[in-house]
Amino acid sequence: MAESSDNPPAPPKYPSNDPQWKYVRMVKEDCRNDLKCIFCGTTTKGGISRAKYHIDGGSTSVKVCTEAPPAVVEEIRSFKLNKAAATAKKNNFKISAPTYGIHHEDPGEAPIPPSSMSMTMDSQKRPRQTRPMDMYLTADKGKQTTINEAWKKEFRVKVCMAISEWMYDAAIPFNALTYPNFQNMLNHIGQYGLGLQGPSMYEAKVHFLSKAVENVDNDYIKL
């Protein structure tokens, strides 16, 4: 007589620790693009990010699930907020890193604070210790480069990924990136810095639309 096993079934394995995976099923095996909601049966395309929008209503381009329990909606929203806060905290640390203990060769950059100057002089009296940020420093004829170049390259990837995901969600055609106003928009966002709150639907549809029409009229009059 075969012995019956009392071991509980192993918990399901998810592609990541994103809680949204608990509430979707892959339409096709090993295909993370098309995901079916376990509450209402709606299939979303675009991966786990759009599936989260389906639950928490974070995008007007994705149909919202009306069957998801409030606790699940709150779970997804809390996860997204915590992830965004962790990312912001990480980025703020990287942004502040170049201003301490590193010589700035570019005259357009901020000068070294007095506290870091004294720290640099003290370091000349002691053997040099390797720091995590030293991987970004290279010796070139006695000059040190800042970590700005390496940081900008890394952060550009994150910015471009965020822009691309927004385009996917809003179904914006790829040739929109070739419009001159797109680069103009990026320049203004860069000048503003962190914490920019984008225009609301009403502002874009009414307030700024009327200003854009006014600008076109003024340009026409100048001609």
Burial of 93 (C-beta count, 10 Å sphere; 0-12/13-18/19+):
exposed
34-52: per-residue pLDDT in tens?
Answer: 999 999 999 999 888 889 8
Residue 197 predicted with pLDDT over 70: yes
Return the number of other C-beta atoms located less than 10 Å from residue 57's C-beta: 16
Residue type, 175: N
Residue 130: pLDDT band (50, 70, 90) is: very low
Residue 22: per-residue pLDDT:
92
How confident is residue 213, by pLDDT bands cut at 50, 70 and 90? Answer: confident
pLDDT for 121 beyond 80: no
User: Does residue 223 have a pLDDT over 80?
Assistant: no
The answer to whether the beta carbons of residues 103 and 144 sit under 8 Å apart is yes
Helix (H, G, I), strand (E, B) or coil at 110: coil
Q: What's the average model confidence in pLDDT over 104-120?
A: 42
Residue 133 pLDDT? 44
Task: State whether residue 22 is helix, strand or coil.
Answer: helix
Report the chain's mean pLDDT, rounded to a whole number. Answer: 73
pLDDT at 137 over 60: no
CA angle 221, 185, 90 (to 5 degrees): 160
42, 34 Cβ separation under 8 angstroms: no
Residue 119 φ then ψ, to 5°: -65, -40
The pTM of this model reads: 0.39
SS3 69: coil
Residue 182: the pLDDT is 92
Q: Which residue has the tokens 């357009």?
A: 108
Over residues 152-156, the mean pLDDT reads 83
Residue 73 pLDDT more than 50?
Answer: yes
C-alpha gyration radius of the chain: 25
- Report which of residues 214 and 121 the model is more confident about: 214
Residues above pLDDT 70, as percent of the chain? 64
First to last CA, the chain: 96
Residue 159 has pLDDT above 80, yes or no: yes
Q: Which residue has the tokens 């075969």?
A: 2
pLDDT at 43: 93
- Gap between the Cα atoms of 182 and 204, Å rounded: 16
What pLDDT, on a 0 to 100 scale, did the predictor assign at position 120? 42
162-183 pLDDT per residue, tens: 898 888 888 888 888 998 889 9
- pLDDT for position 103: 38
